[in-house]
Amino acid sequence: MNKFFVYLLFLLAASAAQAQSMHDLMIGGGLDLLKTDNRALLKKAQIGLEANYFVVRHFSVGVGGEIWTTGQKSSFVMGARWYANDKVFLRFRGLIGANDASLGLGFAHPLTKDVRLEGLGDYYFGGGAFALRMGIGYILR
């Protein structure tokens, strides 16, 4: 049942990418494929859901949540993204509940006009962990 829940969340939403113009809203989520503090493969997963509002074309603010499949705390997330171009971005987030913050570098690949596939590397300051995340996002215009 736990694996089904993880797969369902991943399919429904995964970490978002970019919008084409200001005032767009992007919803999505992602799943950590690899994280340096995981002791065994597929023993724990971290899933994130978020919504980003594009204040201007290359800058967004976002809110969301992180859910762990193990006994760790779930977190409310607040952050921002800056897009160097339409595909490469920097992301900073604060994880309230886990008392951590992360800085990430990502790449967004458009699948359709409104759907983006995203790959992201995050560094977590609290535990010194590094994670690779995959996700998908949908832009609401």
> Across the chain, what does the average pLDDT equal?
84
Q: Is 92 exposed, middle or buried (0-12, 13-18, 19+ CB in 10 A)?
A: middle
Say if residue 140's pLDDT is above 50.
yes
Domains and CATH numbers, the chain: 2-140 (2.40.160.20)
Q: List, in sequence order, every residue forming a beta bridge with 48; answer none if it has no partner.
A: 30, 66
Which of the four pLDDT bands, split at 50, 70 and 90, describes residue 6?
very low
* Strand, coil or helix: 11: helix
Which of the four pLDDT bands, split at 50, 70 and 90, describes residue 2?
low
Say if residue 45's pLDDT is above 90.
no
pLDDT tens for 54-95 read: 999 899 999 999 998 877 778 999 999 999 998 999 999 999
* Residue whose tokens read 């976002």: 62
At 8 the pLDDT is 40
At 3 the pLDDT is 52
At 44 the pLDDT is 75
Say if residue 103's pLDDT is above 70.
yes
